[in-house]
Structure 1
Amino acid sequence: MRVLVLGATGRVGSHVVSLALQDEHSVTALVRSPNMLQINDGNLHIVQGNVLEKQDIENVMANVDIVISALNTDGANTLTESMPLILDAMDKEHVKRIITVGTAGILQSRLTPTILRYQSSESKRKTTFAAEEHHKVYNFLKKSDTDWTIVCPTYLPDGEYTGIYRIERDFLPDGGVEISVADTAEFVYQQIQNKEYVKSRVGIAY
Structure 2
Amino acid sequence: MSRVVIFGAGGRTGRCLVDEALAAGHQVSAAMRTSVPLPGVESIVADLRDPASVEAAVKGQDVVISAIGPSGRKAMGLYSAAARALVPALEASGGARLIAITSAGVRRDDPSFKPIYRVLARTVMKEAYDDMRLMESIVRSSSVDWTFVRPTRLQDEPATGTYRVQDNETPEGGWQVTRTDVARFIVQEIGKRQWSHAFPTLAE
TM-score, with normalisation over the residues of structure 2? Answer: 0.88
User: What displacement does 1:105 show?
Assistant: 1.4
Match of 1:129 in 2: 127
User: What displacement does 1:138 show?
Assistant: 1.2
Distance in 2, matches of 1:122 and 1:47, equals 36
8 Å CA contact 2:61, 2:96 repeated in 1: no
Match of 1:155 in 2: 153
Structure 1 residue 93 corresponds to structure 2 residue 93:
yes
8 Å CA contact 2:24, 2:187 repeated in 1: no
Describe the SS at the equivalent of 2:143.
coil
Range moving further from structure 2, 173-182 or 68-77? 68-77
Match of 1:25 in 2: 26
Q: Deviations over 1:116-172 (max 9, x none)?
A: x7xx99613132111101100111121111121111111112000121111111101
Gaps of 5+ in 2: none
Match of 2:39 in 1: 40
8 Å CA contact 1:101, 1:188 repeated in 2: no
> What is the alpha-carbon root mean square deviation over aligned residues?
2.0
Match of 2:171 in 1: 173
Distance in 1, matches of 2:171 and 2:54, equals 34
Q: Deviations over 1:64-83 (max 9, x none)?
A: 11111001144311111121
Distance in 1, matches of 2:90 and 2:11, equals 22
Match of 1:83 in 2: 83
Describe the SS at the equivalent of 1:83.
helix
* Alignment counterpart, residue 193 of structure 2, candidates 172, 192, 195: 195
TM-score, with normalisation over the residues of structure 1? Answer: 0.88
Gaps of 5+ in 1: none
User: What displacement does 1:194 show?
Assistant: 2.1
8 Å CA contact 1:72, 1:78 repeated in 2: yes
User: What displacement does 1:54 show?
Assistant: 1.2
Distance in 2, matches of 1:186 and 1:196, equals 14
Q: Evaluate the alpha carbon distance shift between residue 131 and residue 110 of structure 1 in structure 2; reply closer, same or farther with a 3 A threshold.
A: closer
8 Å CA contact 1:168, 1:203 repeated in 2: yes
